[in-house]
Copies of this chain bind each other. A is one copy, B any other.
Amino acid sequence: MVDWFWRRRRGVPAPRLRSREDALPTARIDLHEFAPAPAEFLARAAYVQLAVFEHAARAAALVHATEAKATIALAAGVALDRHRALVELLAARGADPVAEMERVRPAIDRFLRLTEGRDWVEAALTCHLAGGFLDDLFVALADGLPRELATEVLALFAPRADPRYLELFTRAMEDNTRLAARLALWGRRLLGDALLVARDALAFSDDHRSDEARIEPAFSELVANHTRRMDALGLAA
């Protein structure tokens, strides 16, 4: 039953997600003009991945079932691999990764505190929904980076579709309508916190009014993708 998962690295084609989830992300999100300098972008993306790693690792520690534990630990590994790769890109540019990450920490630390969740399923949902939202954000911002760097970053953020991970939620919610209602609220809560992290990641110009008008369509798309993710899990947004 978990066969595919363990064999993925040996060349067996990755399994397909459900059709609704397959469609994600839909529209191209344009935020390229708000991309910060490469070092800031990389440091923020690296620290966000460390935050997603922390949430996933906590969920893996909290869940009892062996299969769920292993599945969530692998998701933590994906975030950690990305963190490592982003820090490497940063160091390769001659930047001091620790100093750069320190500069961008506050908004992400706040996000971490607020989105911890009260049990493994909330923590795991944070990784899927807020992690997915922030992936979309960094992919959109990457368009504004120097081309070669953008290509490397986009390769790192290639879809991490893992149907086993999504099944953890559908299985947990089976015969538990109260959990579904709680997770729907949690998913809605996460959006606000993710939006704050997103705003903090943008390099605004001096013309704030014009900036707000220009980011509006992109943020609408980020929210729409979030709603689609909720929807794919059967959570009312």
Chain A interface (Cβ within 8 Å of chain B)?
Answer: 2-10, 50, 53-54, 57-58, 60-61, 66-67, 69-70, 73-74, 76-77, 80-81, 83-84, 87-88, 90-92, 95-99, 101-102, 105
On whether the beta carbons of B97 and A70 are closer than 8 Å, the reply is: yes
* A91 and B61 contacting across the interface, CB-CB below 8 Å: no
Copies of this chain in its oligomeric complex: 2
Given known contacts A77-B77, A84-B74, A91 and B8 CB-to-CB distance under 8 angstroms: yes
> What is the bound-complex CA distance between A17 and B70, given in angstroms?
32
Contact A91 B57 (CB under 8 A): no
For A84, what are the chain B residues with a Cβ–Cβ distance below 8 Å?
5, 74, 77
- Minimal beta-carbon separation of A101 from chain B (angstroms): 5
Given A74-B84, A91-B3, A91-B5: A54 touches B60 (CB 8 Å cut-off)? yes
Identify 26 residue pairs between A and B in the complex whose beta-carbon atoms are under 8 Å apart, listed by A's number. Answer: A4-B88, A4-B91, A4-B92, A5-B88, A5-B91, A6-B91, A7-B91, A8-B96, A9-B88, A9-B96, A10-B88, A10-B92, A50-B69, A50-B73, A53-B57, A53-B76, A57-B57, A57-B61, A57-B76, A58-B58, A66-B101, A66-B102, A70-B98, A73-B83, A76-B80, A77-B84
Question: Are A54 and B61 in contact, CB atoms less than 8 angstroms apart?
Answer: yes
Q: Kindly provide the distance from the CB of A83 to the nearest chain B CB, expressed in whole angstroms.
A: 7
A101-B6 Cα distance, complex, nearest whole Å: 14
